[in-house]
């Protein structure tokens, strides 16, 4: 299978441990405590001042997409977001993750994968958000655009996908691996990448809530088809949207660490 090494998926699954018991709904005590519990060497406080995002228009897939680009001083890589079903660049969860990544020295690009006209249609039909090949085509074009711009062409690219956007991000990483450093999926549907999973050559981190049972099973299925560098992290108490106190914080820090580990 394309010469990509694989290993037992059980060896690549990690549950973040909070001791013997963790009451449902309990909040992580402090950032330093969370970092200790996930075994992360990252500093407690972000190292970079948060930049002001710049509004952009990006040609992709025969349309023009609205996007927000944020580049902190000294950035060494850029993380492009692939939003999930019914979401957009205005998602509060993705903006939180993006600001966390900015704080740890990554530029971020949050782009709407549908135009305003398409979003209006999709609110009624709900079919465009599940057109994964079309969304992947647009992500491939977004990556090519980033590599063509003077402000961003020096950066390696990471994909951060949520929900159905994770499937599109993995297809894009398989189809256009040039200058891609890693992929992170939060509560994602990597199974939607199907036959492309075996073609992904970069490290993939799958972050899933411990109480998101159906999606967890789908991620375990996908992990068995990804390369040996990939891993599944299970965040206790989290459901699909990571709305429980402290769980989105954990996912953001796990993503930042993964991208830092694979920047080079």
Query: Would you say residue 30 lies in a domain?
Result: no
Q: Could you identify the residue written with the tokens 């992990």?
A: 223
Query: Would you say residue 88 lies in a domain?
Result: yes
* Residue span of the structural domain in which 88 resides: 37-261
Query: Would you say residue 10 lies in a domain?
Result: no
| DSSP letter assigned to residue 2 | T
Structure tokens at 257: 């660490």
Asked if residues 241 and 93 have their Cβ atoms less than 8 Å apart, the reply is: yes
Query: Would you say residue 7 lies in a domain?
Result: no
74 class by beta-carbon count within 10 Å (0-12 exposed, 13-18 middle, 19+ buried): exposed
Whether residue 31 has pLDDT greater than 70: no
Q: What angle do CA 28, 158, 42 make, to 5 degrees?
A: 35
- DSSP, collapsed to helix, strand or coil, labels residue 34 as helix
Instruction: Please tell me the pTM assigned to this model.
Output: 0.85
Give the confidence band of 32 by pLDDT, cuts at 50, 70, 90: very low
Q: Which residue has the higher pLDDT, 73 or 44?
A: 73
Query: Would you say residue 185 lies in a domain?
Result: yes
Query: Would you say residue 6 lies in a domain?
Result: no
Q: Which segment, 9-18, 29-38, 93-102, is predicted with the most confidence on average?
A: 93-102
Q: Could you identify the residue written with the tokens 């402290």?
A: 246
Total count of domains within the chain = 1
> How do residues 212-253 score in pLDDT, each as one tens digit?
999 999 999 999 999 999 999 999 999 999 999 999 999 999
CATH number, domain containing residue 243 = 3.40.50.1820
Quick one: CA dihedral 81, 84, 85, 90, positive or negative? Answer: negative
Query: Would you say residue 29 lies in a domain?
Result: no
Whether residue 46 has pLDDT greater than 60: no
> What whole-number distance in Å separates Cα of residue 208 and Cα of residue 206?
6
Query: Would you say residue 20 lies in a domain?
Result: no
- Per-residue pLDDT, 10: 59
């Amino acid at each position: 299978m394309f010469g990509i090494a694989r290993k037992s998926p059980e060896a690549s699954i990690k549950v973040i441990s909070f001791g013997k018991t963790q009451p449902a709904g309990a909040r992580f005590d402090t950032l330093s405590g969370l970092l200790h519990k996930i075994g992360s060497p990252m500093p407690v406080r972000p190292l970079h001042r948060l930049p002001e995002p710049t509004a952009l228009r990006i040609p992709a897939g025969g349309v023009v997409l609205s996007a927000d680009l944020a580049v902190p001083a000294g950035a060494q890589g850029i993380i492009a977001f692939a939003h999930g079903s019914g979401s957009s660049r205005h998602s509060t969860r993705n903006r939180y993750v993006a600001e966390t990544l900015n704080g740890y020295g990554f530029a971020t690009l949050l782009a709407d994968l549908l135009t305003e006209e398409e979003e209006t249609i999709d609110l009624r039909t709900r079919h465009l958000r599940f057109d994964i090949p079309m969304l992947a085509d647009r992500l491939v074009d977004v990556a090519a655009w980033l590599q063509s711009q003077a402000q961003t062409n020096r950066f390696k690219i990471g994909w951060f996908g949520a929900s159905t956007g994770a499937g599109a991000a993995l297809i894009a990483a398989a189809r256009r691996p040039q200058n891609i450093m890693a992929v992170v999926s939060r509560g994602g549907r990597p199974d939607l990448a199907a036959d492309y999973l075996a073609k992904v050559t970069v490290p993939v981190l799958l972050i899933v809530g411990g109480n998101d049972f159906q999606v967890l099973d789908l991620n375990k299925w996908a992990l068995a088809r990804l390369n040996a560098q990939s891993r599944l992290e299970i965040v206790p108490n989290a459901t699909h949207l990571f709305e429980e106190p402290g769980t989105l914080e954990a996912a953001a820090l796990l993503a930042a660490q993964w991208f830092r580990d694979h920047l080079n």
